[in-house]
Amino acid sequence: MQDDNDYMRLALGEATTAAGAGEVPVGAVVVAADGAVIAAAHNAPVGSHDPTAHAEIRALREAAGKIGNYRLTGMTLFVTLEPCAMCAGAISHARLARLVYAADDPKGGAVAHGPRFFEQPTCHHRPVIEQGPFGDEAAAMLRDFFRARRKL
């Protein structure tokens, strides 16, 4: 069985794929309660012409399609960046048991920052939330990506 480090490494690999495609480097992995990886995805709004194509949304869609149910009860989402409000809403609706994210996002995050989505009384389901491993690596990948874009 793998551990949180292994799953977050998979998510970081997805983030690397996103960066290679010119997308913001964010990756996500959905893991079942038994440790099986159900889905993995990276950011793709630019290439897909879809503003909702965040890594989390894409991974949730893939996982739901594989199990034939939009409720991903008992599953964990590993993501390299603190989810935004849209993704936090989707996580709540998916009924994930756990959310593990690597890097904080003080500007656009909605879990530990901004609206703190899961703390709102209107939130229907709250997963266990943990700041996981490789936060420094994920943050560095994002900084490097945006630094390179500013030089263009």
Considering the candidates 56, 62, 119, 137, report the single residue annotated as catalytic: 56
Cα 152 to Cα 147: distance, rounded to the nearest angstrom: 9
* Mean pLDDT, range 23-51, rounded to an integer: 98
Q: Helices (DSSP H) in the chain: which residue ranges?
A: 4-20, 45-48, 55-67, 85-94, 135-151
23 classed as catalytic: no
The three-point CA angle 98-102-105 to 5° equals 105
The reply to whether 87 sits in an annotated binding site is yes
Q: Tell me: the pLDDT tens digits for 127-141? A: 999 999 999 999 999
Residue 123, token pair as written in the block: 């939130």
Let me know: does 58 contact 82? Beta carbons within 8 Å. Answer: no
Percent over 90 (pLDDT), the chain = 95
Q: Rounded to two decimals, what is the model's pTM?
A: 0.96
Average pLDDT of every residue of the chain: 96
> What's the pLDDT tens digit per position in 64-99?
999 999 999 999 999 999 999 999 999 999 999 999
- Consult the annotation and say whether 123 binds a ligand: no
Question: Rounded to 5 degrees, what are φ and ψ at 21?
Answer: -95, 5
Q: Is 49 annotated as a binding residue?
A: no
